[in-house]
Chain A
Amino acid sequence: MEKWECTACGYIYDPKEGDPDNGIKPGTAFEDIPDDWVCPQCGVGKEFFQKIA
């Protein structure tokens, strides 16, 4: 599964780790995160994330 980077602050979402503090279980693909999830570091929405090629 691919990692995604927040274009605003540089936070990297790693599906292996998920974002358990905000209810995203380890192993969750970025595409499967609910639309109202925001960057845990700076708060921008999913649309500001870019796939790390």
Chain B
Amino acid sequence: MRVIIVGNGLAGVIAAKTLRELDKKVEIEVFAEEKYHYYPRPNLIEFLAGTIPFERMFAFPQEWYKEQNINIHLGKPVTRIFPDSQEIEVAGGKKEKYESLLLANGSFSFIPPFKGAGKKGIFALRTLDDAFELLEYLKNHQRVVVIGGGLLGLEIARAMKSRGARVDVVEFFDRLLPRQLDIQGASMLKAQVENMGIYVHLGLATEEILGQNDVRGLKFKGEREIEMDMAIVAAGVRSNIRLTKEAGLETDRGLVTDDYLQSSNAKIFGAGDVIQHRGRIYGIIPSSFNQARVVASNILGMKEKYEGTVPSNTLKVAGLDLTSVGLVNPEEGTSEEFRKEKKEEGIYKKIVIQKGVVTGAIWMGTKKGVNEISRIISQKINIEKHKISLLEDDFDYSVL
């Protein structure tokens, strides 16, 4: 059996690792666009901040791939797929045969079509090379604007601040972390971020990037402007679907897969940011990890279902513990919400309950009960009887 994996990010490498755990003989070939071995992407932030050196970016030592008998071809992007003859074409023109193909070629940073977006000094952070370019430019450009106040945007802002830059964060929504927080939680977070000396601007739609050849400022709808020397765009990611579309595989915003993570072609599977499962593209590590484990089994002919992952995010900004699990901003009238706030201690907790089951939670300023609430959500435990007392600090989770 010969399996070709496209991509050596988390999904590709974990799938390769799992394939090897399950089957000593299967031939595993990984083709990667990046010229570096697998590193967990969150490490990029630490590298940017200067807290992890280059050598410590990587998850597994180079010998590991040899020991596991996994053949990795770095700097070799796949340029075409030929489903009928079960072949791929690698940059340079060489063709390779597969019995099963796993597409784990991820996503790219989305840069909205601002006026002036072609100027010098606009960056995104997705790869190690992005990080190198960014740091090089930062040396002579110390006023940084981060466009996007989501998870990645805030982490980048923190990293840039720790490098001594002046940092402004611009968010289109009326609050930070619009996907993970509600208004109340987000306003607490904003105060913490501002405490670090980072400037936060909310509800601003970027209209134009100003400057001659190099960026000099940002102009928003309504004539407001701010000055800057470099912009880092953190406005989300989009799946890499050019290959899958050209190959005629069913593709929507991502490569469409069923619960077995199989595409519309029985020999082609998908995992990670590139796929769309039950209409959803996750773009987070835990789901890529689960998908990689499941898809490896299915490539080997076992029938294992992937049922989805409850999104969960833990973030540490400005020393503030923050966890957001599941659906935290439900549509009106579909749920009950319970909150508990202790302003002086910086603690804010909220749960969202739908039909007796907790479907979302925000935990700020404390870690106590985070693991328990996450489990209650993923296991869909009915807590109707305890919904009033659940947010108490001394709630005994063992009664559930």
| Residue positions of A touching B, CB distance < 8 A | 5, 7-10, 36, 38-39, 41-45, 47-48, 50-53
Contact between chains at B285 and A53 (CB < 8 Å): no
Partner among A5, A10, A48, A52 whose Cβ is within 8 Å of the Cβ of B42: A48
Partner among B14, B52, B371, B372 whose Cβ is within 8 Å of the Cβ of A42: B14
Interface: B10 (CB within 8 A) = yes
B10: A residues at CB distance < 8 A = 42-43
A10: B residues at CB distance < 8 A = 286, 289
Contact between chains at A44 and B368 (CB < 8 Å): no
Contact between chains at A42 and B367 (CB < 8 Å): no
List 23 contacting pairs A-B, 8 Å CB cutoff, sorted by A. Answer: A5-B371, A7-B312, A7-B314, A8-B40, A9-B285, A10-B286, A10-B289, A42-B59, A42-B289, A43-B13, A43-B39, A44-B40, A44-B42, A44-B43, A44-B285, A48-B40, A50-B314, A50-B371, A52-B371, A53-B368, A53-B370, A53-B371, A53-B372
Total interface residues on B, CB under 8 Å, equals: 25
Nearest 10 CB-CB pairings of A with B: A43-B59, A44-B40, A8-B285, A9-B289, A7-B314, A52-B371, A38-B59, A43-B40, A42-B289, A53-B368
State how many angstroms separate the Cβ of B391 from the closest Cβ of chain A: 15
User: What separation, in Å, do the CA atoms of A10 and B58 have in the docked complex?
Assistant: 19
> Helix, strand, loop or mixed for chain A's interface?
loop
Contact between chains at B40 and A45 (CB < 8 Å): yes
State how many angstroms separate the Cβ of A5 from the closest Cβ of chain B: 7
Contact between chains at B285 and A45 (CB < 8 Å): no
Interface: B207 (CB within 8 A) = no
Interface: B38 (CB within 8 A) = yes
Contact between chains at A43 and B60 (CB < 8 Å): yes
User: What separation, in Å, do the CA atoms of A45 and B60 have in the docked complex?
Assistant: 11
Given A42-B10, A42-B14, A48-B42, 12 new contacts (CB under 8 A): A7-B312, A8-B286, A9-B289, A10-B286, A36-B56, A39-B59, A44-B43, A48-B40, A50-B367, A50-B370, A51-B367, A52-B371
A36: B residues at CB distance < 8 A = 56
Interface: B33 (CB within 8 A) = no
State how many angstroms separate the Cβ of A22 from the closest Cβ of chain B: 10
Closest to B40 in A: A44
